[in-house]
Amino acid sequence: MEGEKAISLLAELYKQYPKHYVAVDCSIFGYEDGELKLLLYPRGFEPAQGKWSLMGGFVQENESMEEAARRVLLQTTGLKDIFLEQATAFSKPDRDPGARVISMTFVALIRIDIHDKDLVRESGAHWWPVTKLPALIFDHSEIVTNGLALLQQKASIDLIGKELLPDMFTLMQLRNLYEAIFQKTFDPGNFRKKVLSLDILERLSVKNTKESKKGAFYYKFKSGDYGLRSERIVKFP
Amino acid sequence: MEGEKAISLLAELYKQYPKHYVAVDCSIFGYEDGELKLLLYPRGFEPAQGKWSLMGGFVQENESMEEAARRVLLQTTGLKDIFLEQATAFSKPDRDPGARVISMTFVALIRIDIHDKDLVRESGAHWWPVTKLPALIFDHSEIVTNGLALLQQKASIDLIGKELLPDMFTLMQLRNLYEAIFQKTFDPGNFRKKVLSLDILERLSVKNTKESKKGAFYYKFKSGDYGLRSERIVKFP
DNA sequence: CCAAAAGTGTTGCTTGTACACCCATGT
DNA sequence: ACATGGGTGTACAAGCAACACTTTTGG
């Protein structure tokens, strides 16, 4: 066929161009003990031994970059179907001392309460509060800063929480999450009114009586995919 | 040295992973005759002959992806120092029939009035109104849709115009640009007040008397890089 | 009782929006 | 004279921020 011949000519044309290693690196955020945390892996060998790194991996022949990221996340946390969003690519020729590696970075949001803790522990990984991060290899600090900014931007447009909190949560827990993300305090009353006005939370009949004397109702996200069908834009400063 | 040995071991470690062709594709937007336009190149050979494509190129060994995009833009428009922003990467293994090519996409904004028209004409390129785009090769339509969404988002946060309009412009011209970007009309009075309240435009003493009977003052963007130092967030619409 | 969080209400300010209105002038 | 865009003002609604206030209950 003509078509096939054309395609093989195209393949021939491409041969003059260089190929590159392509990696994915994930900023994996979780929320625990009132803090926003980042999952990091210790580097056991030189160069940069003793520093920490984001979880990453190389893109294989038969997978897209997002598939590569999901594969890596499944291997390291045991979780499927996690929130994953493409962030910024880093491609300076000398960013990795081992070879020229182009890295596509992703932001992943994990519910710490349901991930595979044993799997994480085995690998020596550790959840670090984003306010006290250790030294990271290569340009990974820059990647994290970039991912955090993306997370903040996302949180200011959508109401996130489904991805980071347990199924049931109190409005104080949700507010504390937002305070951890934005590193600022929100007025409890105003936060409550704003969030409830969005009409995407459902109040349950159960109360949490541990974190307050009076007891606070649990809420959950309404079922039926909001965020896709809703045009609502939430503006948190 | 120990360090060098470690680095070569790292390089050895990477050898088990596949390499990929990495390309950049640019959605080049311009503004002319009251319309938002996109610069497209005709495809002269099979497969997909007769369709149009974005301008792109392969990433070389010694350049970052952004540098590759700037190189391509210089070659095709003759312009340096143009506005360029990383958009979304496309990496489905079969997106290009010739070979597995990973494409990083960019949005570029061009001032049509100062680009090298001869260079563009030679290549057979054509500025298409974004409202009437032809069929594009591969997944380029998806790339354009994505780039347009990014442009809209950017225009709703920053005041763009410096990148698309002549040095001097009237507020009507700026409004028409925004109407072209968002495909909706803005109230002239309200648009004027909103834009001027940002305090980033400077009124000149010259008037444009061609487009209105009364004559409208020209404005320009104040010098001193706003957009970097300003925390202002403009919300259009 | 008191501290601490839950939950509701009030008030003032800022912002967006829909207009009305006068101005200047080329045709 | 009149249509067209330039430019300013006004009136109303919506949203947000600051903060007062009541409720509940474990210690």
List beta partners, residue A32: A35
Three-class DSSP labels, A86-100:
EEEEECCCCCCCCCC
Give B228's pLDDT tier (boundaries 50, 70, 90): very low
Strand locations in chain B (E): 19-32, 35-42, 52-53, 55-58, 83-90, 101-109, 126-129, 201-208, 216-221
pLDDT tens, position by position, B82-96:
999 999 999 999 999
| Residue of B24, B86, B88, B91 to mutate, testing the A interface (most A Cβ within 10 Å of its Cβ) | B91
| Residue of B14, B51, B143 to mutate, testing the A interface (most A Cβ within 10 Å of its Cβ) | B14
The answer to whether residue B199 scores a pLDDT higher than 70 is: yes
pLDDT at position B74, please?
95
pLDDT tens, position by position, A153-163:
999 888 999 99
The answer to whether residue A117 scores a pLDDT higher than 50 is: yes
Instruction: Let me know if B72 is exposed, middle or buried by CB neighbors in 10 A (0-12, 13-18, 19+).
Output: buried
Whether residue A50 contacts residue B11, with contact meaning beta carbons closer than 8 Å, is answered with no
pLDDT at position A3, please?
65
pLDDT tens, position by position, A210-227:
999 999 999 999 987 655
DSSP notation for A58-73? E--TTS-HHHHHHHHH
Give A177's pLDDT tier (boundaries 50, 70, 90): very high
B31-45, B116-130, B219-233 — which is least confidently predicted?
A: B219-233
**Which residues on B lie below 8 Å from A87 (Cβ)?**
none
pLDDT tens, position by position, A37-57:
999 999 877 777 889 999 999
For chain B, the average pLDDT equals 91
B46-69 average pLDDT score: 93
pLDDT tens, position by position, A2-16:
667 778 888 888 999
A122 is catalytic: yes
Enumerate domains of chain B plus CATH numbers.
12-156 (3.90.79.10), 158-229 (1.10.10.10)
pLDDT at position B11, please?
85
d(CA A153, CA B156) in angstroms, rounded, equals 14
Q: Are A97 and B7 a contacting pair at CB < 8 A? A: yes
CA/C1' separation A165–C19 (Å): 47
pLDDT at position B53, please?
96
Cis peptide before B237 (omega within 30 of 0): yes
Three-class DSSP labels, B50-86:
CCEECEEEECCCCCCHHHHHHHHHHHHHCCCCCEEEE
Highest mean pLDDT among A48-57, A143-152, B47-56: A143-152
For chain A, the average pLDDT equals 91
Q: Are A86 and B91 a contacting pair at CB < 8 A? A: no
CA/C1' separation B214–C23 (Å): 8
Cis peptide before A166 (omega within 30 of 0): no
Q: Are A91 and B20 a contacting pair at CB < 8 A? A: no
The answer to whether residue B187 scores a pLDDT higher than 60 is: yes
**What are the backbone dihedrals phi and psi of residue B207, each rounded to the nearest 5 degrees, phi first?**
-120, 150
Residues 85-144 of B with CB under 8 A from A: 86, 88-89, 91-93, 97-102, 104
Give B72's pLDDT tier (boundaries 50, 70, 90): very high
**Which residues on B lie below 8 Å from A98 (Cβ)?**
7, 10-11, 13-14
Give A205's pLDDT tier (boundaries 50, 70, 90): very high
Return the SS3 of A28: strand
